[in-house]
Amino acid sequence: MIAELPPGSILILGAFLIPLLSGRPQSLYLLLLPVLSFIQLLVLPADLQWRLSFLGYELMPVRLDRLSLVFGYIFHIATLISVIYSLHVRDTVQQATGLIYAGSAIGAVFAGDLITLFVYWELTALSSVFLIWSRRTARARQAGLRYLVIQIVSGLLLLLGTLVHLQGTGSLAFGHLGLDSPGGVLIFLAFGIKCAFPLLHNWLQDAYPEATVTGTVFLSVFTTKLAVYALARSYAGTEILIPIGVVMTLFPILYAVIEDDLRRVLSYSLNNQLGFMVVGVGVGTELALNGTVSHAFAHILYKALLFMSMGALLLQAGTVKASELGGAWRSMPITAFFCLIGAVSISAFPLFSGFVTKSLTMSAVAGENHQVAFFALLFASAGVMHHSGIKIPFCGFFSPGTGRPVQCGEPPLNMLVAMGTTALLCLAIGVYPQSLYQLLPYPVDYQPYTSSHVINQLQLLIFALLAFAWLERRRLEPPALPGINLDTDWTYRRLLPLVVRKLMTVGAPIDNAIRRGASGHVRMIIRELSRHHEPHGLLARVWPTGSMVLWVAILLGAYLLAYLL
């Protein structure tokens, strides 16, 4: 019975029973759902394809292959970790919508046609917004609304692109699409919004930091990685993705360095890491796609770990503003240690997950002679070390701060268990990369631990560390100052309302004049009609029968004359 359900359905359907439970039974049930869903995935045939006919078209609600399976595995692992992290929360809305969100993303990964993909695509948007609204602040409500609008626009572009693609090709298959047709371009834009392409990205930095402590962990896993999967499925080898990805790796560095909110720093860092994956999809070789998939796998873990550590800090200290923190490691040493594990993982230190995954993409880019892209990614790697590898743990836990050290204590045990499990996985992948390599879509013949690679990476990381230390000692490092850094969202949050107000100011006199003129003409017409139709008006009189016959004869004659001529 369970094996007959599409992957992810157990999470979606099971979420509706959560309100019926409470206390320990509810916690056990929450843990059981992702475990059952993962077991269901494991028992399905590795090449399963479900087909059905709908309105004369062939749909494929479920398709399993090596590309979809690796994303299915990590999505289930991340779901279980996120559930463990949120066990202390007594909010049915968060618990239910988090599982619906995860199940929808898993279902989308295994969709074999564009209609099924669209259904899950929209369900991820509708369910995930409640993880933002559940914080129940004015900023969260506004950010959630903007997030929902942008995500729905992505879904509408996907639907429109699907219809155009269907009209042009007669196929609904979710496979390689390319940019050779209008439908492919529209779907590309839909994927680009969810993947946070440049100029389409700021929903991520706007919404994620406003979500709940546990909601941000869920959000960091699914939406953007689902978009990466969709790009790898449909646009592998599309070269325009290489410059797009390069820009994605570079511009967030500038914002992350000056940002005060550490969860917003991680949101910019997430955008930066997505750029590496997008470049890999653009290169499109087997090595590059393996690099993209493995990087997505590792990134889900270490980025979730960093968001969990900042969430724990927010829960215990009440803030994640760098300008308000200092010395928190003394009262939260375990959380600080797990944060360091996430920091060295995202920085690609040897023996940690980022080292054995990012190098696949870098080698593929170098092997295909994309020199500019390679050096840009190398520079971006140093930037990652600066803002995520150093700034996050330093400002969050180890900086001296401006006042008394933060005294708050460790978070609940379930949060520590989730962080410890994720940290262990980051270390396990780094120590034994073959455990991940054997899951990748294509055979892997790659050795990350060569002397040249290890030495070059350590040189890069040590240089970045020394540069930060020198800048901090010389007080040249941008200070952590409270404030709002305007990004491209300034165009629709500030500029567009300003333009609308200006147009209304200028157009108000013209609008009033048009309204007055139109009202005068309407009143004149009403007066004329009243004059003819009032009791003593011309059209209200009683006319003799002979006169009526005469007028009928005249009208009939005129009609016949017009017809003959």
- Give the side-chain half-sphere CA count within 13 A for 106: 30
**315-367 pLDDT, tens digit each:** 998 888 888 887 888 889 999 999 999 999 999 899 999 999 988 999 999 88
Report yes or no on 269 lying in a domain. yes
Report yes or no on 496 lying in a domain. no
**24-77 pLDDT, tens digit each:** 999 999 999 999 999 999 999 888 888 888 777 788 999 999 999 999 999 999
476 by Cβ neighbours in 10 Å (0-12 / 13-18 / 19+) ranks as exposed
Report yes or no on 494 lying in a domain. no
Report yes or no on 374 lying in a domain. yes
Report yes or no on 506 lying in a domain. no
Cα separation, 449 vs 365, whole angstroms: 18
Chain Cα centroid distance, residue 463: 32
Report yes or no on 392 lying in a domain. yes
pLDDT surpassing 80 at residue 542: no
Q: How many CB atoms lie within 10 A of CB 420?
A: 16
CB 264 within 8 A of CB 252: no
Total of domains in the chain: 3
488 by Cβ neighbours in 10 Å (0-12 / 13-18 / 19+) ranks as middle
Report yes or no on 499 lying in a domain. no
Does one domain contain both 455 and 524? no
Does one domain contain both 452 and 554? no
Does one domain contain both 138 and 39? yes
- Containing structural domain, residue 536: 513-564
pLDDT surpassing 60 at residue 275: yes
Does one domain contain both 270 and 362? yes
Does one domain contain both 253 and 172? no
CB 281 within 8 A of CB 228: yes
Does one domain contain both 152 and 240? no
Whole-number pLDDT of residue 533? 60
Residue 520 amino acid letter: G
Residue, of 289 and 404, whose pLDDT is higher: 289
From 204, 235, 266, the end of a domain falls on 235
Does one domain contain both 285 and 405? yes
Does one domain contain both 185 and 283? no
> What token pair was written down for 479?
């200070």
319 by Cβ neighbours in 10 Å (0-12 / 13-18 / 19+) ranks as middle
From 235, 267, 288, the end of a domain falls on 235
From 235, 254, 274, the end of a domain falls on 235
Report yes or no on 228 lying in a domain. yes
Does one domain contain both 200 and 348? no
Q: How many CB atoms lie within 10 A of CB 393?
A: 24
**276-307 pLDDT, tens digit each:** 999 999 999 999 999 999 999 999 999 999 99
- Exposure class string for 20-42: b at 16+ Cβ within 10 A, else e: eeeeeebbeebeebbeebbebbe
Q: Residues 68-96: what's their mean pLDDT?
A: 95
Q: Residues 118-141: what's their mean pLDDT?
A: 95
pLDDT band at 548 (very low <50, low <70, confident <90, very high): low
- Exposure class string for 445-468: b at 16+ Cβ within 10 A, else e: ebebeeeebeeebeebbeebbeeb
What values do phi and psi take at 336, rounded to 5? -60, -40
Does one domain contain both 244 and 273? yes
**Predicted TM-score of the model (pTM):** 0.86
> What token pair was written down for 140?
């969260």
Q: How many CB atoms lie within 10 A of CB 477?
A: 18
Does one domain contain both 39 and 171? yes
pLDDT surpassing 60 at residue 404: no
Does one domain contain both 265 and 358? yes
